A and B are shown apart, each in its own frame.
Chain A
C-alpha cells in the first residue's frame, strides 16, 4: 500500500483522497471543538475551586490554579449547614436508589418477560408519566406532607424523588432484562433449577450491572434535584437546597466551590454508567 505513492495515482483519485482527508480532519476539529465547549466551563469552575480565596476574588481571574490550594473548598465545606446537608443529600439519594430499584425491578421484569393483557397499556402508561412535569407536583405533596406530619423529612423527599425516577427505572430495567435471552432461564430450569433459582442464579448476575446503572441514574437525579428539595424541606435541607437557600448572601468562593462540589459526582457517575446511557434513553423512543 505504501509503495504506491500518492503522486503516482491519477489526478481524480488524488483529489478524492484529499477530500476524504479533509472530511476526516473536519470531523476531528468539530468533535474537539464540541468537547472544549463542554470541558472549558468545567475547567474554569475547577480552577476557582482549587485557587486560594484571594485568587477567587481577584480580577482579572487566573485561568489556571496557581498556587493549587484547597482553602476555597475547605471554606465551602465548613460553611454552615453544608456538611449536614451533604449527609442529607446522600441519604435521600441512597433511599431513592434503593426504593426505585425495589419497586421498578419486578415491573421491569414483568414487562420484558411476560405476555399479559394490558401489557402495552401499562408500558405506555408508565412512559406517559414522563410527559408530566413531575417536580412541579412538589407543591401539593408539600401540603399533604404537612397535613400528615411528615414534612421537612429526608424520607418524604426520597418518596417524591422515587416517583420522579420510577418511569425511567422501569423502562431501563425492562430493556436490561430483555437483553438476557429467556432461553438461558429455561436452560437453568432444564438443569434442575426452580424458576426462582433460575432467576436469582442466572438472570440476576447477568443483569446486575444494568440494574445498578439504573440505580446510579436514580441516585444522580436525586442528588441534583433542587425544586422539590427546597419545597419539601426546611431545616433538613439537601445540598442543592442548602446552596440555593444561601445563594443571595453567599460570597463568590462559596458559590464557585459549591458549583464544583455538586458537579464532581456527576463526572464520576456518568463515567460508570456511560455504557447504559443508550439503554436508558434509547428505549424511550421505541
Chain B
C-alpha cells in the first residue's frame, strides 16, 4: 500500500465524474420528469406593448371577451417592424377572478381581427410546475395493478427456488467431483445469456408447436397440442417466465455463493465433522450462517435485477397478455405504434422501480444488521 496526497484522487476522479454524469444526474432527472409538467400560461399586459408590465395570468383555451383593439408594431430580429394587433380582453384568470388586460394576436385565436367579440387563448409562456398528474396516470392505468402484482409474485416465486438451486450447485462443486471445472463452466453459462435470448429459448419450449407439446404428443400423453401462451392462460405464461428466469439468472447467485463458500475456513466444517455432525447439520448450522453476507448481497442484486425483467416477458408472451413494471415503463415511453409516447409516465414507472429497489435493499441490510446486533448483545 502506498500513501500519496493527490494521485489516488486523480485516479478515481474519472469514475466519479462518469457516474455523476451518467448515473446521479439521470436518476435525479428521472424523479423530476415524473413530478414536473410543462404548462403554458398567458400573462396579460397592462398596456398594448410587449415591454409593458405583466398583469394577471390566463390558462390555455380560456375564452375571453374582446373589449378593445389597437394596431401596434412588432420589432423583428432583423430590425424591421411589422404591424400586430393588440386586444384588450376580459376573462377568467387562473385564480378564478374575472380580469382584464392586453394580449396580442400571436397568443389568441380570433376569427376576425377587426370584428370578433370573442377570442380563445392558444399560446403563452411555457413554465414547468410540480404535478402529481403523471403519478396519478400511472396509478390509474388499467395495467398498473397487474404489472405490480406480477412483478412481486415473480420475485416471491423465483428467488427462493433460485437460492436453493444455487446453494445446491455450490455445495456440489464444493464436494469436488471429477470434472468440477466443467460443471462450473456449465453452471456459469447462463451468466452471459441475455434475457431476450432466454425468453426466445423458453418460447421455443412453450409455444403451441414447441418442444413441450412435441414431447407430450410424441409420447402419446395428449392428442393435440396444448396452447400454453394465450389470453386467459396467465398461469401458464407465468410458469414459462418463471422457468426462463430460474434457468437464466441462477448462475449469478451460484457464483456469489461459491465465492462465499471458499471464504469459509475448512477447519470449521472439519470441526463439525469431528464432533459427529451429519452433512445436513453441517450445512444448516455451520455453512449457511457463515454464508449469510454472501446470500445478502446475492439477494439484493437478484431483487434489483428482477425488477428490470422485461425482454423475457415480451419474448414469451408478446407483452400484451402478461405484463411487468419494466414492460410498462417501455410501453409508456415507446414512440412506435403500440407505445403511448409519454416519457413522464415512463419516468414515474422508473422512479417507482427505483424506490422499491432501494427500499428492499435497505430492508435486507437492516434485517441482517439487527440480527447481528442481537447476536452481539
**A, B from the same assembly:** yes
23 contacts between A and B (CB under 8 A): A30-B172, A34-B165, A41-B202, A41-B247, A45-B201, A59-B213, A59-B217, A106-B14, A107-B15, A115-B1, A125-B16, A130-B301, A134-B23, A135-B308, A139-B346, A163-B23, A170-B15, A224-B197, A226-B310, A252-B209, A260-B197, A266-B197, A282-B263
CA A108 to CA B177, docked complex, whole Å: 35
B305 to chain A, nearest CB (A): 8
CA A42 to CA B197, docked complex, whole Å: 10
Asked if A159 is at the interface of the complex by the 8 Å CB criterion, the answer is: yes
Interface-facing stretch out of A3-11, A65-73, A140-148: A140-148
Number of interface residues of A (CB under 8 A): 99
Q: Chain B: interface residue count, which band?
A: 35 or more
Other contacts beyond A45-B200, A163-B23: 11, CB < 8 A: A34-B165, A38-B186, A38-B189, A45-B201, A106-B11, A134-B23, A140-B347, A143-B29, A220-B192, A248-B318, A282-B255
Residues of A within 8 A of B177 (CB): 24, 27-28, 31
CA A35 to CA B127, docked complex, whole Å: 59
CA A57 to CA B210, docked complex, whole Å: 9
| Chain B: CB-nearest residue to A113 | B2
Q: Which of B222-265 contact A (CB under 8 A)?
A: 225, 247, 252, 255-256, 258-260, 262-263
Interface string of B20-31 (1 = CB under 8 A from A): 001101110110
Asked if B100 is at the interface of the complex by the 8 Å CB criterion, the answer is: no
Asked if B272 is at the interface of the complex by the 8 Å CB criterion, the answer is: no
Asked if B109 is at the interface of the complex by the 8 Å CB criterion, the answer is: no
Q: Which of A43-89 contact B (CB under 8 A)?
A: 44-45, 48, 57-61, 63
Partner of B29 from A129, A140, A230 at Cβ < 8 Å = A140
6 smallest CB-CB distances across A and B, nearest first, come from A266-B192, A282-B259, A259-B200, A224-B194, A60-B214, A110-B11
A139 in contact with B204 (CB, 8 Å): no
Residues of B within 8 A of A111 (CB): 12
| Chain A: CB-nearest residue to B306 | A133
B38 to chain A, nearest CB (A): 12
Partner of B22 from A159, A247, A258 at Cβ < 8 Å = A159
B256 in contact with A281 (CB, 8 Å): yes
Asked if B275 is at the interface of the complex by the 8 Å CB criterion, the answer is: no
B14 in contact with A38 (CB, 8 Å): no
A166 in contact with B19 (CB, 8 Å): yes
Residues of A within 8 A of B14 (CB): 102-103, 106-107
Asked if B343 is at the interface of the complex by the 8 Å CB criterion, the answer is: yes
B310 to chain A, nearest CB (A): 5
CA A63 to CA B202, docked complex, whole Å: 15
CA A280 to CA B301, docked complex, whole Å: 13
Partner of A137 from B27, B192, B215, B279 at Cβ < 8 Å = B27
Give residues in B with beta carbon < 8 Å to A: 1-4, 7-12, 14-16, 18-19, 22-23, 25-27, 29-30, 32-33, 165, 168-169, 172-173, 175, 177, 181, 183-197, 199-205, 207, 209-211, 213-215, 217-218, 225, 247, 252, 255-256, 258-260, 262-263, 279, 293-294, 296-298, 300-301, 304, 307-308, 310-311, 314-315, 318, 326, 329-330, 333-336, 343, 346-347, 350, 353-354, 357-358, 361
A132 in contact with B23 (CB, 8 Å): yes
CA A281 to CA B18, docked complex, whole Å: 22
Residues of B within 8 A of A30 (CB): 168, 172
Residues of B within 8 A of A226 (CB): 194-196, 310-311
Residues of A within 8 A of B172 (CB): 27, 30-31, 34
CA A167 to CA B32, docked complex, whole Å: 24
| Chain B: CB-nearest residue to A185 | B2
| Chain B: CB-nearest residue to A258 | B200
Please judge, given known A-B contacts A142-B333, A262-B194, whether A182 and B1 are in contact too, CB under 8 Å: yes
CA A265 to CA B189, docked complex, whole Å: 10
Residues of A within 8 A of B19 (CB): 126, 129, 163, 166-167
Interface string of A238-259 (1 = CB under 8 A from B): 0010011101100010011011
Residues of B within 8 A of A38 (CB): 186-187, 189-190, 247
B207 in contact with A252 (CB, 8 Å): yes
Residues of A within 8 A of B2 (CB): 113-115, 182
Residues of B within 8 A of A45 (CB): 200-201, 204
